[in-house]
Amino acid sequence: DAGVIQSPRHEVTEMGQEVTLRCKPISGHDYLFWYRQTMMRGLELLIYFNNNVPIDDSGMPEDRFSAKMPNASFSTLKIQPSEPRDSAVYFCASSSLTDRAGSYNEQFFGPGTRLTVL
């Protein structure tokens, strides 16, 4: 498996524009997480899904943020409209309660999307 895939890797946009971040989890994983990382706030959990269903979105900062998981192999995080304070690295991660290695619930992170909002 290629691991968790995220696109784009870098995104530069202007304030007010819509931004869509994409994630493909590891095949067979039933949990998907979206995180935001900044120097000031560290690694923040925004939302997570189990079997494509959003379970906890209490970390989503405001209504400008939305996330979907239409199927087991794809998720999006959308920011509309974007603001300069949204600039951060956004990570997607996936996990499964158990795996063959026994390290259950290890979260496998994608490479991240570095978002810059001007």
Applying CB under 8 A, the residues found at the interface with other proteins are: 31, 42-43, 45, 48, 56, 91, 97, 103-107, 109-112
Closer residue to other proteins (CB): 82 or 113: 113
Q: What is d(CA 44, CA 98) in angstroms, rounded to the nearest whole number?
A: 24
Q: What strands lie across the sheet with 5-7, from one edge to the other? A: 5-7, 19-24, 74-79, 65-71
- Helix, strand, coil shares of the chain, percent, nearest 5, are 5, 55, 45
Q: Based on CB atoms, which residue is closest to other proteins, 17 or 51?
A: 51
- Nearer of residues 76 and 96 to other proteins, judged by Cβ: 96
